[in-house]
Amino acid sequence: MWNDLKQEVKMLRQYSTPLGNIWYVIQFIFRLLIVSMIGSQVYGDEQGQFKCDTNQPGCQNVCYNSQG
């Protein structure tokens, strides 16, 4: 997998200008920042805030899985 990625980066750098290489790095950094800032809110665990409509023991996870 890493070898394939290295080949792709090598090919990309071969056919890009120095300004294009800087553009790819800036795009990668900004996308990583967006995912790290917003990702935890989007993919966070909501089970702690979930209210099940039954009080049977062990039913909380089953109720959460059926609604989620």
Prediction pTM value: 0.50
Could you read off the pLDDT of 43-63 as tens digits, one per residue?
A: 766 666 666 666 666 666 666
- How far is the C-alpha of 67 from the C-alpha of 48, rounded, in Å? 14
In degrees, to the nearest 5, what angle opens at C-alpha 33 toward C-alphas 12 and 44? 125
Could you read off the pLDDT of 1-60 as tens digits, one per residue?
A: 889 988 988 887 888 898 988 998 899 999 999 988 888 777 766 666 666 666 666 666
